[in-house]
Structure 1
Amino acid sequence: MGRGDLSDAEWERLRPFLPVSNGRCGRWRDHRQVIDGILHRVRTGAQWRDLPERFGPWKTVYERHRLWSADGTWERLLQQVQATADAAGEINWDISVDSTIVRAHQHAAGAASKGGQIARTPGRNRVAEPPRPPGGGGAGGEGLGRSRGGFTSKLHLSADGRCRPLSLVITGGQRADCTLFQPVLEKIRIPRIGAGRPRNKPDSLAADKAYSNGPCREYLRRRRIRHTIPEKVDSQAARLRKGSRGGRPPGFDEDRYKKRNTVERAINQLKQHRAVATRYDKRGYVYLGTATAAALTIWLRS
């Protein structure tokens, strides 16, 4: 077993949930060997062609990763591992939400398009954004954009109280955090072991001032989610100017807010994987698969 490969215990946790070949398209190469190759690339950020020979043909490893990113296999594997942890009572449902900027390498640019439109691929609509006019906004459909950091993507995520990612969403680097608040929370769906609906409601939520606006708070009240979000200075001043018509200040639990560092630590763990810290993937859905594979290793090794 090489450095970064799945251990026997991790493999046994993952093996029951892996897809099985239908037999019509030939046998798949050994799942464990290919997954180890994918995780090696996610961890090191190496080019696919430079994968060590012990992982088999590099194109097989890349195509498996691209296929599983497109059809949602990585997300399903992550959800199944999360479901097992939830059944054992190992998930802390006091969650936090935040985002992080990811610099895009020059190799991430130039994704092929058809007729001026972004090419369609199975599973692409999971991460696609509305079409954007050329110039200034970057390739919005691929989760690439321009921000202060240059050519960037933004990774929006929620994390449980044990610093493990629960949901991930990719956008261009210029997108505001609050605009993806609802998609991040609605993507939390932890299946039940046995009968029952997936769990999608946390016990409480903490977020920074980037999410301190009316729509975010109204959404949380509608779902009856206890939350701790600090009030912006300008919002506070506007409320005070209105006097009694401004309403009461939003509740703020200082002790709960101190635990928001869990999402920052989850981001730090994700960016220990170099293919997540710097984006090399041209397609948005492939980069989302890369980030999801990194999150899966965090859950397996926590």
Structure 2
Amino acid sequence: MSTPYDFTELPDGLWAKFEPLLEPFKRKRSGGSPPISSRSIINGIIFRLKTGCQWNMIPKCYGSKSTIHDHYRRGAKHGVFDQLMKICLEDYHRQQGLHLSWQSMDGSLIQAPVRTKKRCG
């Protein structure tokens, strides 16, 4: 049985399509700590999105939480993730086929529990 923590990183073929979109976001200045690879950062973002964990719970092998979060914010602001999603959908359609004539959505709405004061004795 698979869990959200059974994370596999991006395959090489998909990464080759992602990489050109991330080129404008590479660090240009020198100094400080060595730059983290864009692939590692994207894998960290995908890990966070897939697991739903907090930013500070992303494994350190992907880089610091602040670096990954900063790249996520900049990428989202510039529409990079919309483009990455389009690439993923095209790749999936090529491999499996998308059938968009039928779609469904699952959700639920429930009232939040209300706190009540406990009665003393």
TM range (shorter): 0.5 to 0.7
Give the CA deviation at 1:39. 2.4
Partners of 2:47 and 2:25 in 1: how far apart? Answer: 28
Structure 1 regions of 5+ residues with no counterpart? 102-146, 151-302
Q: Which has the higher contact order (CA 8 A, sep 6+)?
A: 1
Pair 1:4-2:11 in alignment:
no
Letter in 2 for 1:12: G
- 1:121 paired residue number: none
Pair 1:21-2:23 in alignment:
yes
Query: CA offsets, 1:184-228, max 9 Å, x none?
Result: xxxxxxxxxxxxxxxxxxxxxxxxxxxxxxxxxxxxxxxxxxxxx
Preserved contact between residue 92 and residue 98 of structure 2 (Cα < 8 Å): yes
Q: Structure 2 length normalisation: TM-score?
A: 0.61
Pair 1:61-2:68 in alignment:
yes
Runs ≥4 in structure 1, deviation > 4 angstroms? none
Q: Which has the higher strand share?
A: 1
- 1:79 paired residue number: 86
Preserved contact between residue 5 and residue 39 of structure 1 (Cα < 8 Å): no
Aligned residues: 102
Alignment partner of 1:6: what SS?
Answer: coil
Partners of 2:62 and 2:26 in 1: how far apart? Answer: 24
- 2:107 paired residue number: 100
Q: Structure 1 length normalisation: TM-score?
A: 0.29
Partners of 1:44 and 1:62 in 2: how far apart? Answer: 15
Letter in 1 for 2:7: G
Root-mean-square deviation (Å): 3.1
Instruction: Report matched runs for 1:46-195 at 5 Å.
Output: 46-87=53-94, 90-98=97-105, 100-101=107-108, 148-150=110-112
Structure 2 regions of 5+ residues with no counterpart? 30-34, 113-121
Q: Which has the higher helix share?
A: 2
- 2:116 paired residue number: none
Letter in 1 for 2:105: D
* Rg larger for: 1
